[in-house]
Structure formats: C-alpha cells, structure tokens
Structure 1
C-alpha cells in the first residue's frame, strides 16, 4: 500500500501512517471469485478510486489526518473478503484548511484522475466549496467531521452525504441538559470560519429554545496560539458556561491556557462543543477532567468497537477517533454498494446506499434520510478524573445514549431542497 500526500504530514503521524506518507498512492486490489456481484463492466476505468482529503499537517490533523487514511485502508481489507476481484485505489491529499486548495485537489481528482468518491474533508469551509464541485460533476462526497448544518441544509446536494455529525447534533443535547440544571448563561469562544460561526448560531438558537441566554461570542483565527484576550472576555462576561466552538489543537491550546490562567478554579464551567479523543490525549486528564461533550462513536463502547480499535492502533499508534471510525464505515458501505450494483455511477450507488442499512462497528442499522444525513445514536460523555482511567486511551465516561430520534433536527424544520422534493 502506498499513498500520496504532503511530506509536511510525516512528523504528525505514527506507525504505519507515518510510513505511508512518503509514497505515491494507495492501491489495494485482489484477484479471485467475487462473493458479491461485482462486475468491472460498469466500473469506469475498471477501477474504483477513492480520495481522502483532509487536514494532514495542521490543527485538525490528529483527529482525522493520516488516521483517516488508515481507517479507509482497514475498510478495504474488510471489503476484499466480500469482493476480492474488484480493484480499488485510494489517493490522499492535504487541503491545509484552505478552500481554494481543497477545491483544486478535488476538481483535479474528479476531472483528470478518475476519482469516484471523496471522503472525510473535515473543514466546514472546505466542505462547502467541495460540495459545489461534487454537485457540478455529479460525483459523490461523504463528509466525516464537518460541522456546518448548511451541508445538509440550505446547501444540500444529491451527491453529498454526512456520515458523522453536524453542529445541531453536537450542541442541542448538552445545552438542554445544562440549562435545566440552572447553568443558563453562556459565552462562546469560537473558531472564525464556517464551522465556528455556524456552531455559535446553532448554539444560540438552542439556548434560546431552552430558556437560556447568550452573553456573547468571540471568534479567533484558525491556528492562533494565544487565547488570552478571548479567555479574559469570557471570564468578564458573567456567563455560567464558557463553550468552546473549536476543535483539535485549537481546543487543546484553549484548555491548557484556561488552566494556566487559573480559570479552572473559578465558577465558570467549560464545555467543549466539539471534542475528540485525540484532544483529550493531547491535553491530558489534569487539564481535560470533567469536560463534557457529545460524540457519535467511542472506541471503548463494546467488544466490536474494541476489536476495531486494536486493529487501528496496531497500524496508527493511537486509538481511533469518531471521524476516523466514520471514514471506515463510509468507505465500506460505499464499496458494498458499488459491488452490489456492479457500477460506480453516482446515482445508482447512492440509491443502493440509501436503501441498505449500515452494517459495521460504527453505526449498525443506521440509514440515510432524505437530507442525506446518516441517522444514528450519539453519546453524551464526560472526561474522567485523573486516577479513574482503567486503561490507556479510556478517557470517557458515557453518561447517556442520545437516541437517533432525538439527536437530529426534525425533517419538518429542514431547508434542504431534497427534503422538499421528497415531500417534507
């Protein structure tokens, strides 16, 4: 297996991923009788090409990055047992959290390199730009850690699927819970791009509906390392809760400085509106203890998730995050649909994906609904106290399961044109 990406990612990766980042393209293929009715006759160029594009060298690289490519590779390993004669290739690239670079990569993949499906993306601003290219070229894109609700809302597309979460999933449950406990005054520290802006918008809407009050919001540049002025504004706001609408290295640095400035000893409660396992690993339990958040998946949920996590760890040197697990699931479900239909034609593949429930360790039984969201349960988690950790990477206590029926914005409130066409 080989992969093409930016050499700057090498120092950010572990294990097999680090070795992969020096080469030119992942290719996985096998010969033999197919267990599923996969026929190359309907496959363009006789090969299925999948492109993994995300941040592989910057502040969002740990939560997805090269680990998402490892997850895609595991999906191919599992798929080969079902359709070993279907040739599959994976390419990967670093969009550096820049929409113009992401669009350039994806356009070239679709138009010149025969890529059939793009997965992950991660950055909301990049995702909104890529959505337009995928729609224009009638090519499939499956989003993992993309928060903006516009992807499956006002800017939804027949070719854009959301596999992990959106900002409504992430904020509505915790806000309702904490406001009910009397913590009803909130202040937001957010990343200043599409994701952070949308998350604050969704948060303030949920806060108003729950009877709470927004005490204000401040937006920081993506990649800043000095949060002092933002934290001081939060401290002086009079808020009960300081909510961080950022992710990855941004959240890690924010929380480290929160503790350095002594704010952990105050009366304000920090809430991570988007929290990943690698964030907790990066800041440590002393800093992260007590943080609450919502996740779509956790590696230590059951025997199946733990078995997958072990395979992933053996290759990557870290336990999988929810985005990485969702990439595994999206790639596997997509390839099953290609094999079953005998084609990589977008419309037929998406129709089969929609008609067939997911069957894997990520979201068993989940289905795509009319707005192209994969509907599944979520989990409200809290970071353990130091000393309460029984094994490495077991950072969360699962407080409750949020059933799929309660985790999503009702379709009746959707502004996605696909929902209107299907009959809202």
Structure 2
C-alpha cells in the first residue's frame, strides 16, 4: 500500500513539474517574481532595491533564456501573509512565473513557502529571517539564500555578551521572526552564563516604543536587546536616545540591523555598534564593483537582502540554462551540485534542507570622524565561516530530510 501511495505521489509531483514547465514555455516571456515590502517598515531593506537587483541579474545574464526575454514582475505584499499568498497564487497560476524571490518578512515568507510547497514550486527566499524556513517549514523546492535568525543571533549575541553585559531585557517583535531571534539569542546568553531579566513584545510596525524603553530602563538590565529590525529597530533606538537611556550608561543593542538603518539613524547614534551581516558593499573589489553599478541605478548602497536577491536570481537562471529547462527537480539538483561563489555568497553550499551556508561578517559601525563618505558607515572586523555561522544540518528539523 505504501508503495502505491508513494508511486502516485511521485507521479503527481512529476505531472505538476511538467505542467509548470509547459506553462512557462507557452508564455512569450520568462517571468520571475519579486515579492517584497514596497511601502512599509522593510521597504528600504528590500522594496524597489530588490527589484533593481533582480533586473540587474537578468541584464547580466543576457536578458533572455531559451530564446525568450526574461521579465521581472514585482508586487507589494504589505507585510500581510494573505495578500502575499494571493499574489503568488496569481503569478503561478495566471502569469507563468517560474521562480519567486525576496519574500521579505517571516510571516509572509512562511505563508508563501507553504503555498508554493503544495505546488512543488521554487521560492528563493532572500528576505525572511526566521530559521523555521529550513526547519519545520522547509520544502524540497525552497532555498533560504541570505541569512537566518540563528546565524544573526549566534554572532551578534556573542558580541553583545562579551562586550556589553550579561543581563538583558528583550524588546521583541511579536511574530515568528522576533520570537525566533529572541530564542536563538537567549541560547547564546544562557550558555555564556548570562540572564534574561525581562521581555516585552510589540506589534509589527509600532511607532511608539517609549513604554518599552522605559520598562527596559527600569529593569536594571545592562543591555536592552532589540529582537526586531527595520523601522521598528530604528524607532526604538531613536527613542532610547531621546530619553537619554544610552547617555545614562545603559546599552541599547540591535540583534539585526541593516546598512540602510545605520545610514538613516546616523553614525553619531550607533557608532561602535557591532552587527552581523551577510554582505557589506565595501568588503572587497568584487562587492565594490557590483555595488557601484547598483548605486548608479538605485542611488543607495545595497542591503544584504538586495544583494542576495541578485545572487539568487542569477544562480537560478544559470541552473535553468545548465539543465536546459525549467524542470524544478533538475534546477534544484544543479543548484546543490557545486559550491556557489559570487559577489554575495562566498564559500557557499546549498544544503538539502534549502539553507545556503556561506560566510557571514561581523561589522562595526564607524564614528563620524572615521567615515570618509556618505556610505562609509562600517568596517568588516571578522569573517565568520558559514559552518560556524549557521546551525549544522544535524540539528535541522526539516521533515522531508527524515523521510
């Protein structure tokens, strides 16, 4: 009986893959979808910049594949999982999209991944942070290309613990990303002998952090740790500065902050802060050359989400060309076949659970006197090998690995 069920499942999967290939081949264009936050608190991290990055990849690839032009479609998911799923369903069923990327936000990322897993469809997630993407929510056709909460928390939490203090008060975004980031950071804190003295959770896109900051101040914790990102993190830091919390000697430290956030806050506010990232535009000659081109198009330097979107799009197209079709099984096998090395991903390998393991970086925000230009905001002080940054596959909870 099990044999027949497995045989039917395999036949169905093959049929779906073949149907998708036929849809893609019947369209006049090859469509790639960039689903992102165009108007909300993550828009500077992804948004229009991710669309520009994907378009750059298409241009650099040559603009066509199998004799047809490649087109980048884009949509704003408004940070709402139902809208994200609805738009992707339209793309796949109506518009013949062959791959979806970016998918900023953990809740939207999980919603899209679950939908596309049912369709045996490739999603190259560059924007969601939660490590659940390659654990309990994993799919044979999904990748987590840029970073996850474990990689960020392990390095950032260790740096905070070593230099800032061993008693923490968490201000945490109340959704999948924030919960996972707090949990992963707490493991590092407790292992190092530290203590959590309190936790408060806030809704997504909160504008008033005054009560959270004041309660964190009253807790007596050495460090108020922000398990959030984007506009939420920058609002919290600004308000902590306005209340004099930092000036009084208490540290306010973000676990995840992007170069665009630092630029917006200003070096005076966050000088000296250490943070973990998967990309910095001024790391080496390859990153500088690519970033110069990106800046010419977008007028800002790229976040790691935007750089990863370029990398994911380019590597998808290369894999499709190498296998000669849009067959999803063959494309995924090709992506896992050899190490990946480009302007974003260094010493990178795509694992069976969909996680792209690659070098991460510990960076430190420069002071205004150290900076020599508008975007000279940080320096990379340590390269973190992928095997040390990401959790080993032996700890993965990905269900299909156990079949």
TM-score higher than 0.5: yes
Asked whether the 8 Å contact 1:86–1:339 carries over to 2, the reply is no
User: Are 1:398 and 2:366 matched, yes or no?
Assistant: no
How many residues end up aligned between the 2 structures?
A: 383
Unaligned runs of 5+ in 2: 1-20
User: Are 1:146 and 2:119 matched, yes or no?
Assistant: no
CA separation in 1, counterparts of 2:72 and 2:109?
A: 19
Q: Could you tell me how far 1:178 is from its partner in structure 2?
A: 3.5
Aligned to 1:115: 97
CA separation in 2, counterparts of 1:249 and 1:110?
A: 31
Aligned to 1:99: 81
Aligned to 2:260: 278
Asked whether the 8 Å contact 2:280–2:287 carries over to 1, the reply is yes
Q: Could you tell me how far 1:86 is from its partner in structure 2?
A: 4.3
Aligned to 2:323: 341
Q: Which moved more, 1:49-58 or 1:237-246?
A: 237-246
CA separation in 1, counterparts of 2:315 and 2:338?
A: 9
CA separation in 2, counterparts of 1:419 and 1:300?
A: 38
Q: Could you tell me how far 1:51 is from its partner in structure 2?
A: 0.3
User: Are 1:124 and 2:106 matched, yes or no?
Assistant: yes
CA separation in 2, counterparts of 1:396 and 1:181?
A: 18
Unaligned runs of 5+ in 1: 1-38
User: Which of the numbers 160, 180, 187 marks the counterpart of 2:169?
Assistant: 187
Structure-to-structure mapping, 1:208-287, within 5 angstroms = 208-287=190-269
CA separation in 1, counterparts of 2:188 and 2:248?
A: 25
Change (3 A) 1:172 1:359: closer
Q: Could you tell me how far 1:72 is from its partner in structure 2?
A: 0.4
Q: Could you tell me how far 1:336 is from its partner in structure 2?
A: 0.3
Q: Could you tell me how far 1:322 is from its partner in structure 2?
A: 0.7
Deviations 1:96-143 (A, max 9, x none): 000110010011111111111100011100011111111011111111
TM-score by length of 1: 0.86
CA separation in 2, counterparts of 1:259 and 1:161?
A: 38
CA separation in 2, counterparts of 1:137 and 1:44?
A: 18
Q: Could you tell me how far 1:347 is from its partner in structure 2?
A: 1.2
User: Which of the numbers 178, 185, 194 marks the counterpart of 1:203?
Assistant: 185
Q: Which moved more, 1:358-367 or 1:258-267?
A: 358-367
Change (3 A) 1:359 1:84: farther
Q: Could you tell me how far 1:176 is from its partner in structure 2?
A: 2.5
Change (3 A) 1:84 1:315: farther
Change (3 A) 1:81 1:46: closer
SS at match of 2:86: helix
User: Which of the numbers 363, 386, 395 marks the counterpart of 2:345?
Assistant: 363
Aligned to 1:380: 362
Asked whether the 8 Å contact 1:42–1:342 carries over to 2, the reply is no
Deviations 1:255-299 (A, max 9, x none): 111110001212222221111111011111111212221000100
Q: Could you tell me how far 1:317 is from its partner in structure 2?
A: 0.7
Change (3 A) 1:372 1:333: same
Deviations 1:177-234 (A, max 9, x none): 3334472111111212211122112222222222221112111111221110000111
Q: Could you tell me how far 1:248 is from its partner in structure 2?
A: 1.4
- RMSD, aligned CA: 1.9
Q: Could you tell me how far 1:82 is from its partner in structure 2?
A: 9.1
Structure-to-structure mapping, 1:288-299, within 5 angstroms = 288-299=270-281
Asked whether the 8 Å contact 2:160–2:253 carries over to 1, the reply is no
Asked whether the 8 Å contact 1:216–1:237 carries over to 2, the reply is yes
CA separation in 2, counterparts of 1:180 and 1:277?
A: 23
TM-score by length of 2: 0.91
Aligned to 1:173: 155
CA separation in 2, counterparts of 1:77 and 1:130?
A: 26
Q: Could you tell me how far 1:419 is from its partner in structure 2?
A: 3.3
Change (3 A) 1:82 1:404: farther
CA separation in 2, counterparts of 1:46 and 1:344?
A: 15
Q: Which moved more, 1:315-324 or 1:191-200?
A: 191-200
Q: Could you tell me how far 1:418 is from its partner in structure 2?
A: 3.6
CA separation in 1, counterparts of 2:235 and 2:203?
A: 13
Change (3 A) 1:201 1:318: same
